[in-house]
Amino acid sequence: MSDAYKKAGVDLNAGYEVLKEVKKLSGNAQLGAFGGLFPLAAEAVGNEPVLVAGTDGVGTKLLVAIAANQHTTIGIDLVAMCVNDILAQGAKPQFFLDYLGLGHTDTDRVKAILQGVVAGCQQAGTALIGGETAEMPDMYGQDHYDLAGFAVGIANKADLLSPENVQAGDILIGLPSNGLHSNGFSLVRDILFKQHQFELSHVFPELGHDLKTELLRPTQIYVDAILPLLQQKCVASIAHITGGGLIENVARALPTGLSAQFTVGTWPIPPIMSLLGELGNLSTTDLRSTFNLGLGMVLIVHPDQLATVTASLTQQQQVFYQVGQVTDHGEPVTFQEASHA
SS3 per-residue string spanning 156-189 = EHHHCCCHHHCCCCCEEEEEECCCCCCCCHHHHH
Greatest alpha-carbon pair distance for the chain in Å reads 77
The pLDDT value given to residue 231:
95
Domain span holding position 32: 3-159
Same domain, 265 and 142: no
Closest C-alpha among 257, 46, 253, 261 to residue 165: 253
Residues 312 and 248 in one domain: yes
Is residue 117 domain-shared with residue 183, that is, in the same domain? Answer: no
The one-letter code for the residue type at 215 is L
Q: Is the pTM of this model over 0.75?
A: yes
Q: Which pLDDT score, from 0 to 100, does residue 5 have?
A: 46
Encode pLDDT of 114-148 as tens digits: 999 999 999 999 999 999 999 999 899 989 999 99
Domain count, the chain: 2
On whether both 313 and 188 belong to a single domain, the answer is yes
Domain shared by 171 and 320, yes or no:
yes
Q: What distances in angstroms separate CA 235 from CA 125, 167, 189, 230, 310, one per listed residue?
A: 21, 12, 36, 7, 11
pLDDT of the residue at 20: 65
Positions of E strands within the chain: 49-57, 92-102, 127-135, 145-156, 171-176, 237-240, 259-264, 295-301, 321-327, 333-337
Output the pLDDT for position 98. Answer: 96
- The verdict on 80 and 227 lying in the same domain is no
pLDDT at 35: 73
Domain closes at, from 159, 189, 215: 159
Beta-bridged to residue 142, according to DSSP, are: none
Cβ–Cβ < 8 Å for 127, 28: yes
Residues of the chain with pLDDT under 70: 1-34, 42-46, 339-341
